[in-house]
Structure 1
Amino acid sequence: MDHFDHQSGHFLEIDGASLYYEVVGQETGPALVLLHGGFGDMEDFNVLVPDLARRFRVIGVDSRGHGKSTLGGAPLTYERLQGDVERLVGQLGLDRYDILGFSDGGIVAYRMAARDSSAIRRLVTVGAHWELREDDPVREILSKVTAESWRAKFPSTYDSYQRLNPEPDFDAFAGAVVRMWLDAGPSGYPGDAVEKISCRSLIARGEDDHLASRDQISESARRIRGATALTIPGAGHAAFQDQPALFLRSLSEFLE
């Protein structure tokens, strides 16, 4: 199998939610965990997975509430998503692994990599904030998102959610995601904790990303010791989808 299909995976029960995951690629290859963005699911990475599966044991997971994973009754936070992924990698017995996180998935990856006991060997983020200050204009953009506005602007992601989710309630799900985005407490963005990240790191953004500014990504690279900042020309927020060949080339060089 060289792609995610939402048919060949498994569920892991965690704190009142069923977490869906799939493993594709080389069984004995180095592990690479992929974490998608808000309102997305693991299939968002299928533009990359066939290439990555030639070398890696690729693990895809639908974040709590997304795709085939249920939301559960507890508040949705980056801290909770972090705990979910850490439980999953423990279940899979991954002593060392690489991680690629997009947007919300990148924020979770930052939190994971900042832990003293982190088993992450190499970290790649795309369009991911390490903090969201109160005066950041992106906060206002995110605060205006509603279930209705998302359905109207991104109908394909809504259709995927309705098709995949075992317990669909898009209004409740959308509200939970927006509250997570706006969380300014310790369960939210990692903030200064990114300075504790010691693994090799590649911090990427699309040239035209309206959510993750060039200054934000540059600051991330400055705060993370030895990190490399990467700008993907001709790409927006989902840079790996907009320019998959360019992104894969840079990613392959970094993961060599």
Structure 2
Amino acid sequence: MQAFNHQDGEYIEIDQANLYYEQQGNMEGPALVFLHGGFGDIETFNAITPRLSQTYRLIAIDSRGQGKSTLGSSRLSYKRLQQDVEAVLGSLGIERCSIIGHSDGGIAALRVAVANNVHIEKLVTIGAHWMLSADDPARGMYSEVTAQSWREMFAHSYDRYQALNPAPDFERLTGALKSLWLDSGEEGYPNESVGNITADLLVVRGDEDMLVSRTNAVELADRVPNARLLNVPFADHSAHEDRPEWLLAILEVFLTTNERVMAER
């Protein structure tokens, strides 16, 4: 059983950024891609990857500017993250896969599924907004984030960033992520385009998530055909880290169930 370790990966240059990705698990199995949340890195999935590694070819990408990936000079947007994922998968010759995305990674994954440049079979979003309305309380939280406040509240993630990143600039990364979160333009949240997703979708939300409301999660599940909703009790924004065993039990069923066959019965 294997987990991500920031030692066995490779780099690909995309739009003036060097993106780090890693592969683990059963290299003969179906491809399962992991996309982490803001200020995170690929190892944040390691509570669930060892068991999944027995069946799947696990592929994880450090989002630009985070983990071991550099930020580059382009404006950070969810469209940019979507294109990064498509470019990494293209370089690996992967035309078909499933994706598990947390927070920012889940939003980027929704955009990948909407664009349909890569065939997504199963899509799991964890604590991910499909839209962020003008009056969503999360906007207020995002607008107050500074490099200093993040360092004080989440010292561990700051220390990991400083240790991993080859060109650390925490002030610049914070500004880029804050702009990403507050973006209301076409390169931001997928919004109503999620209705075009054809992949089977599992919307996961921790019941104590302070960012993504129950309403937002339900609305996403209601808009996507073949969607399922999992509200995990006693879990926060990172349900895969809070309650990995509970989530794994559902993931293993979801990833192997043919939703379309079930719907026809």
TM-score (norm 1): 0.99
Other-structure match for 1:163: 163
Which residue identity does 2:59 align to in structure 1? I
Which residue identity does 1:49 align to in structure 2? T
Aligned residue-pair number:
256
**Map 1:60-71 → 2, pairs under 5 A:** 60-71=60-71
Which residue identity does 1:169 align to in structure 2? D
Aligned-partner Cα distance in 1 for 2:119–2:39: 27
**Map 1:124-139 → 2, pairs under 5 A:** 124-139=124-139
Other-structure match for 1:29: 29
**Map 1:47-126 → 2, pairs under 5 A:** 47-126=47-126
Other-structure match for 2:7: 7
User: CA shift at 1:49, angstroms?
Assistant: 1.0
Which residue identity does 2:92 align to in structure 1? L
Aligned-partner Cα distance in 2 for 1:102–1:137: 19
User: CA shift at 1:220, angstroms?
Assistant: 0.1
Partner SS state of residue 54, structure 1: coil
Aligned-partner Cα distance in 2 for 1:139–1:238: 19
Aligned-partner Cα distance in 2 for 1:70–1:53: 27
Other-structure match for 1:179: 179
**Map 1:196-235 → 2, pairs under 5 A:** 196-235=196-235
Aligned-partner Cα distance in 1 for 2:237–2:116: 30
Aligned-partner Cα distance in 1 for 2:210–2:154: 16
Which residue identity does 1:164 align to in structure 2? L
Partner SS state of residue 85, structure 1: helix
Partner SS state of residue 189, structure 1: coil
User: CA shift at 1:14, angstroms?
Assistant: 0.4
Which residue identity does 1:69 align to in structure 2? S
Aligned-partner Cα distance in 1 for 2:115–2:181: 21
Aligned-partner Cα distance in 2 for 1:25–1:61: 15
Structure 1: gaps of 5 or more residues: none
Which residue identity does 2:79 align to in structure 1? E
Partner SS state of residue 159, structure 1: helix
- For residues 123-156 of structure 1, the C-alpha deviation after alignment (integer angstroms, 9 at most, x for no partner) is 0000100000111111011110110000000000
Whether the aligned pair in 1 keeps the contact of 2:86 and 2:118 (CA below 8 Å) is no
C-alpha RMSD over aligned residues: 0.8
Partner SS state of residue 55, structure 1: coil
Other-structure match for 1:146: 146
Moved over 3 A (4+): none
Aligned-partner Cα distance in 2 for 1:68–1:193: 31
Tell me: CA distance 1:120–1:38, structure 2 relative to 1, closer, same or farther (3 Å): same
User: CA shift at 1:118, angstroms?
Assistant: 3.7
Other-structure match for 1:44: 44
Whether the aligned pair in 1 keeps the contact of 2:86 and 2:117 (CA below 8 Å) is no
Structure 2: gaps of 5 or more residues: 257-265
Which residue identity does 2:213 align to in structure 1? S
Which residue identity does 2:230 align to in structure 1? L
